Structure 1
Amino acid sequence: MKIFKTIIDFYINSSIHVGLSCYALVRITQMRFHISHDESMANFALFGTIVGYNFVKYDALARTKKLEMRNQLKTIALFSFCSLLLAGYYFFCLQKTTQLFSILVLGLTLLYTLPFFPNKKNARNWAGVKIYIVALCWVGVTVILPVLNANTTIGTDFFSTAIQRFIVIFVLILIFEIIDLKQDDPNLQTVPQQIGIQRTKQLGYFLLLIFCGLEFSNNSFNNKNHYLSIALISTIGLLLAFANEKKSKYYTSFWTESIPVLWWLLLLLFTV
């Protein structure tokens, strides 16, 4: 049992799980826009997300020497370096336009992590800003980049999908913020800190209703796809409903982050 927990903790702490979630969302976008044979884009998202998240999680602590390089962290550092090499390889397999936009997303990630201005905190610590930057980065990587790389025509469905993806990521982050309410610095001004847990949940439900409305106005998916999407949105609603400060870290870092992977697997199972 201890070995199993060690494996799961490494899987989560090394950002493999969140990387697979990003990979799954890219695949969902490719299915929605009938993009095939674009492994490079999906793999770039996978390894780029692993590198980006590990950088965000461990950079500040490492620079301030508050993080001891235990064996697991050394392994994560090595794994991140290998992921960086793979992300670099797949980056050069992308279209030029996609490469340029990915650099913009990288800039947002660096802004989120590094203090660019003297005596100023990074964007991660700017009051109320974190959730929007993270959601925008995910929309950029999982919707805009795949469409750009495939030279797909941008129409109404594209903007609808981008808004839906922003909503999904935003609500999933709300669940994280509810669980982390006691640990978060009050100066972060997260949504639950500003409006309370109950109103945060109400905001999440309202956004999920908007998602549903957009889903049934989108013509790119058939009815089966619509119903699968609604089922997953209902699952997110349940996770939001039962979220509270007493839940363990696995409630968010494993189960909540599993939603994109489950969504993609169900689409593969029932639509291919």
Structure 2
Amino acid sequence: MLSLRKILNFYIQSSIHVGIAVFCLVQLSVPQWSGYSFLVLFGTVVGYNFLKYSEWVLSNKPLRIHLIGILSVTSIAAAGFVLLFFQQDVAIQLDLTIALGLVVLYPFIRKLGWLKPFFVSGVVSYITVVIPLKSSLDVAWFFAQRFLLLSSVMIPFEILDSTTDAVSLKTLPHLFGIVRTKQIGYVLVGLFCITSFHTLSMLYPYFIYALSSVIAIYFSSQKRSWYYTSFWVESLPILWWLILMVFL
């Protein structure tokens, strides 16, 4: 049992889980498997691990065994990203360069705590909607849908992190309290539902997406386990993709 927990912890901490989640978000936009989907998976692993562990790696502290494993995963993901990056069109390469610049800005944006969840949602929506659907006439509409949905599922993270985030960051829970922050999440889900009427053929899966987001927000609290957000809430895009496969 302990070994299984260690494997699960490594799976989450090495950002493989969030990488698969973002991969599924691309698949929601473009159901066909493509090199771009895997490029995003690899890039997500590299980007998240850079943000989480770069400070530790650049310090002179001895590396623990699990960090060496995470560095190995990151190196493999980086190699896969570079390989697939140069197989993309120049336009996509430029778009990804813009996305990289936004990721680099994250540590500065994080200091504006209330803005953080919307910034993250915007960047992920840009990568998973705008870039693969740039030629679509409805790309702005799809971006709005994805942004609202992802912003809503960021609420459980904000609530859990409020126990460790400095009050000076002025995150949503610090500014409005837990109850009102949840209400903001419900409003975001409601706006997502309103935009969903633009695509009537997708109402059933969109309804399930919205319901799963509401459930995630409702059961979130400051006392929840780390696994609640880092595994279960981050599993929602995987669930959404599986649901889409059923309705296609």
TM-score range, shorter chain: over 0.9
Residue in 2 aligned with 1:118?
A: none
Q: Is the 8 A contact 2:113 2:172 kept in 1?
A: no
TM-fit CA distance, 1:129: 3.0
Residue in 1 aligned with 2:92?
A: 98
CA-based RMSD: 1.5
1:149-168 equivalences in 2 (<5 Å): 152=135, 154-155=136-137, 157-168=138-149
Q: Is the 8 A contact 1:125 1:188 kept in 2?
A: yes
TM-fit CA distance, 1:259: 0.4
Superposed CA deviations along residues 185-232 of structure 1, whole A, max 9, x for unmatched, are: 21221111111111111111111011111111225xx2xx32122112
TM-fit CA distance, 1:40: 0.9
1:184-199 equivalences in 2 (<5 Å): 184-199=165-180
Q: Are positions 1:27 and 2:38 aligned together?
A: no
Q: Is the 8 A contact 2:27 2:241 kept in 1?
A: yes
Residue in 1 aligned with 2:203?
A: 226
| Separation in structure 2 between the aligned mates of residue 111 and residue 64 of structure 1, nearest angstrom | 21
Greater mean alpha carbon deviation, residues 46-55 or residues 130-139: 130-139
Counterpart residue identity of residue 143, structure 1: V
Q: Are positions 1:146 and 2:146 aligned together?
A: no
Aligned pair partner of 1:248 in 222, 225, 229: 225
Aligned pair partner of 1:56 in 44, 51, 55: 51
* SS of alignment partner, residue 147 of structure 1: coil
Q: Percent same amino acid at aligned positions?
A: 34
Counterpart residue identity of residue 126, structure 1: L
Aligned pair partner of 1:237 in 196, 214, 230: 214
Q: Is the 8 A contact 1:175 1:239 kept in 2?
A: yes
| Separation in structure 2 between the aligned mates of residue 57 and residue 68 of structure 1, nearest angstrom | 16
Counterpart residue identity of residue 85, structure 2: F
Q: Are positions 1:211 and 2:192 aligned together?
A: yes
Residue segments in structure 1 that go unaligned for 5+ positions in a row: 114-121
| TM-score of the aligned structures, taking structure 1 as reference length | 0.87
| TM-score of the aligned structures, taking structure 2 as reference length | 0.95
Q: Are positions 1:132 and 2:127 aligned together?
A: no
Superposed CA deviations along residues 94-135 of structure 1, whole A, max 9, x for unmatched, are: 11111101101100111214xxxxxxxx33223433223211
TM-fit CA distance, 1:270: 3.1
Counterpart residue identity of residue 174, structure 1: I
Q: How many residues align?
A: 248
* SS of alignment partner, residue 125 of structure 1: coil
Greater mean alpha carbon deviation, residues 174-183 or residues 54-63: 54-63
